[in-house]
């Protein structure tokens, strides 16, 4: 039997989040508790009697076995993830080897008892299916930004009723095309029949394609609540993908908004207001429950911050009262590391051609201008180079066919090589001009660096702490379609810093804010640590005086 204290933990797990207390209690009664030390393994043989495992906390990795050999790469299981009972859940048999990446706790339910629970609790099977979908999404590269230490509490998409709204106009087009086809087939005049049928085919194809595009677009927006942040992942098919997020500790308030239709159908929108910017969870089912979840996660995040502060304070006081023994200095400690020479680092060829618009490395985030800017910069030299190659090939062909004698093949080749070298240099210059303009967000400052190939480099920087406010804008129709725009940063000086023509300016603004928030949190912790050091000195002095007085009285 499980400890009753673990019941709230079960309710927080993703597959069980929508179950009632009585249903959770039934699952708890059927389950037994197990724990795995780091690197401890479980071998699970597939079949109808294979038990079911649900991870409470920690982290596991499993490998599918075929005989004595493993197959495929290790798959990570996070809290709320499950394995086993494949025959019952998916009608397949798999042999698994599961290893604990860190100390982990889980529950196990025999297959027969799980079958009974699935019959009694319909929501359990739905939750397990949704949990499996979440597991696949987290394994996908598109969700690689979810950290290993992060627990996903909610994954939502737009309500199905919104899909009806999305499909209204495409279906009208589709029906209009079908009507034109039917009308055209009844035409007695051949020319009118051909015209109506042709237009009908085009309109029907357009309506059908629009329906598919709208359906995919409806499925492409994800709203995610974890124990650390609220995230909106927006994808526009073939155009762009963006991600906006707000740290739980930076949320000021949340607001639920529903229409009359939404209240009838059970969906609405939640706007999360952070210190800078906002994240909108639009048209999702059960908005009030999601708001409650966000508020609860925000409260837990605040408690974790307080607990971390308390642990830091306790460590400082313990170190002052009972200092650790001093370690003798090592021979290598006195040797200073040789200073590195400031060499100019040129980008590696592979790095150049795989350059990304946003790179998060360690604690630094680097932005480049949108790729459409690169396309516009290199378009003319690419067109001219293509025309040059095509023209030279045509002249050489005409010479070889005897249709042309001037210019000669040799002259054509030499001229083409000379002009091509200039165009290739121009192409390289335009690419490196785009590649060299970067905007960096470090843990303590923002940097705007403009580097001209074979020319000057101008770098401007400003401390994160000097930021007063930020705005972002998408420029014109192209900016809206491609999610391209500027982020204007007011640092209190006469000249503002601007991240120009970057992809997803809203996310760039949020990245700057997150770094600013982390910096302020670090400064706050440092100031608190300084005060705790002073208090710890007083406590240590009191401790010493009390000890001396006790010794004198003996």
Contacts (Cβ under 8 Å, ≥6 apart) of 359: 365, 366
253 occurs within a structural domain = yes
Contacts (Cβ under 8 Å, ≥6 apart) of 466: 491, 492, 493
Write out the two tokens for 8. Answer: 């709230």
Residues 161 and 196: their CA atoms lie apart, in Å, by 34
pTM of the predicted structure, to 2 decimals: 0.69
Write out the two tokens for 265. Answer: 């159908």
Which 8-state DSSP code applies to residue 6? G
How many CB atoms are closer than 10 A to CB 425? 12
405 and 450 together in one domain: no
Listed in order, strand segments (DSSP E) in 168-286 are 222-226, 229-236, 240-247, 251-257, 267-274, 278-285
Q: Are 63 and 83 in contact (CB under 8 A)?
A: no
Per-residue pLDDT of the chain (554 residues; tens, 9 = 90+): 556 667 788 888 889 988 888 899 899 889 998 999 999 999 888 888 899 999 998 999 999 887 655 566 788 888 889 999 988 888 888 888 999 999 999 999 999 999 999 999 999 999 998 888 888 887 776 676 787 778 888 889 999 999 998 999 999 999 999 999 999 888 888 888 899 999 999 999 999 999 999 998 898 889 999 888 898 888 777 666 677 888 887 888 999 999 999 999 999 999 998 876 788 999 999 999 999 999 989 888 888 878 877 877 778 777 777 777 766 655 544 554 454 443 334 444 444 444 578 888 888 999 999 888 899 999 999 999 999 999 999 999 888 888 877 888 888 899 999 999 999 999 999 999 998 888 999 988 999 888 888 888 888 888 888 877 777 777 777 887 888 888 888 877 666 788 988 888 878 887 887 888 788 878 888 887 888 888 878 877 887 788 888 887 76
359 occurs within a structural domain = no
354 occurs within a structural domain = no
CATH number of residue 67's parent domain: 2.60.120.10
550 and 536 together in one domain: yes
406 and 501 together in one domain: no
| Domain of 416, in residue numbers | 370-436
Residues 553 and 453: their CA atoms lie apart, in Å, by 80
Helices 122-139 & 111-120 angle (0-180, nearest 10): 110
CATH number of residue 453's parent domain: 2.30.29
56 and 132 together in one domain: yes
Write out the two tokens for 546. Answer: 């009390």
Calculate the alpha carbon distances from 188 to 17, 191, 196, 201 in Å: 64, 9, 12, 19
Residues 137 and 100: their CA atoms lie apart, in Å, by 21
445 and 472 together in one domain: yes
147 occurs within a structural domain = no
306 and 396 together in one domain: no
127 and 190 together in one domain: no
112 and 165 together in one domain: no
Scan for tokens 């001209």, then name that residue.
452
CATH number of residue 266's parent domain: 2.30.29.30
Write out the two tokens for 42. Answer: 């479980």
| Sheet containing 364-368: order of strands | 358-361, 364-368, 438-441, 445-451, 457-463
CA-based nearest residue to 235, from 334, 157, 314, 346: 157
Q: Are 104 and 36 in contact (CB under 8 A)?
A: yes
133 and 17 together in one domain: yes
The string of DSSP codes covering 35-60 is EE-TT-EEEE--STT--EEEEEEEEE
CA-based nearest residue to 176, from 213, 205, 214: 205
Q: Are 536 and 473 in contact (CB under 8 A)?
A: no
432 and 450 together in one domain: no
Number of domains the chain contains: 5
Q: Of 436, 468, 485, which residue is a domain's last?
A: 436
100 occurs within a structural domain = yes
Write out the two tokens for 205. Answer: 């194809």
């Amino acid at each position: 039997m499980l400890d009753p204290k673990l019941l709230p933990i079960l309710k927080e797990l993703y597959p069980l989040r929508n179950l009632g207390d009585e249903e959770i209690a039934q699952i708890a009664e059927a389950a037994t508790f197990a724990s795995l030390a780091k690197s401890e393994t479980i071998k699970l043989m597939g079949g109808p009697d294979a038990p079911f495992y649900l991870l409470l906390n920690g982290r596991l990795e499993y490998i599918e076995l075929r005989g004595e050999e493993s197959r495929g790469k290790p798959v990570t299981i996070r809290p709320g993830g499950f394995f086993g009972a494949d025959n019952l859940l998916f009608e397949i048999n798999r042999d698994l080897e599961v290893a604990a990446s860190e100390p982990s706790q889980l529950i196990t339910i025999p297959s027969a008892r799980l079958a009974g629970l699935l019959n009694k609790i319909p929501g359990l099977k739905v939750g397990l299916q949704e949990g499996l979908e979440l597991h696949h999404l987290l394994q996908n590269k598109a969700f690689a930004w979810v950290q290993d230490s992060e627990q996903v509490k909610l994954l939502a998409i737009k309500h199905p009723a919104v899909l009806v709204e999305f499909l209204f106009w495409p279906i009208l087009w589709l029906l209009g095309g079908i009507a034109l086809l039917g009308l055209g087939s009844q035409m007695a005049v051949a020319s009118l029949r051909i015209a109506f049928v042709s237009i009908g085919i085009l309109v029907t194809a357009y309506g059908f394609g629009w329906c598919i595009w709208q359906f995919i677009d409806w499925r492409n927006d994800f709203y995610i609540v974890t124990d650390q942040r609220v995230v909106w992942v927006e994808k526009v098919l073939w155009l762009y993908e963006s991600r906006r997020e707000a740290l739980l500790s930076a949320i000021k308030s949340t607001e639920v908004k529903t229409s009359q239709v939404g209240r009838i159908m059970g969906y609405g929108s939640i706007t999360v207001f952070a210190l800078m910017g906002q994240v909108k969870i639009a048209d999702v089912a059960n908005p009030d429950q999601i708001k409650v979840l966000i508020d609860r996660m925000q409260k837990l995040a605040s408690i974790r911050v307080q607990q971390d502060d308390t642990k830091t304070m306790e460590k400082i006081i313990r170190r002052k009262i009972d200092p650790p023994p001093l370690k003798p200095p090592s021979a290598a400690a006195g040797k200073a590391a040789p200073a590195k020479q400031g060499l100019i680092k040129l980008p590696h060829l592979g790095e150049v051609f795989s350059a990304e618009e946003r790179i998060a490395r360690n604690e630094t985030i680097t932005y480049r201008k949108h790729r459409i800017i690169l396309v516009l910069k290199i378009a003319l030299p690419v067109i001219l180079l293509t025309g040059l190659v095509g023209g030279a090939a045509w002249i050489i062909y005409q010479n070889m066919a005897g249709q042309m004698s001037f210019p000669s093949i040799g002259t054509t080749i030499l001229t083409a090589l000379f002009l091509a070298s200039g165009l290739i240099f121009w192409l390289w210059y335009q690419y490196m001009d785009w590649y060299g303009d970067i905007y960096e967000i470090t843990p303590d400052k923002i940097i705007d660096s403009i580097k001209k190939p074979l020319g000057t480099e101008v770098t401007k920087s400003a401390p994160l702490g000097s930021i007063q406010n930020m705005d972002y804008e998408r420029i014109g129709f192209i900016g809206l379609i491609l999610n391209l725009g500027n982020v204007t940063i007011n640092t209190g000086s006469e000249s503002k810093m601007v991240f120009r023509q970057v992809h997803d300016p809203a996310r760039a603004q949020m990245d700057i804010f997150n770094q600013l928030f982390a910096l302020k949190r670090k400064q706050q912790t440092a100031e608190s640590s300084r005060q705790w050091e002073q208090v710890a000195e007083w406590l240590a002095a009191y401790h010493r005086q009390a000890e001396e007085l006790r010794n004198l009285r003996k």
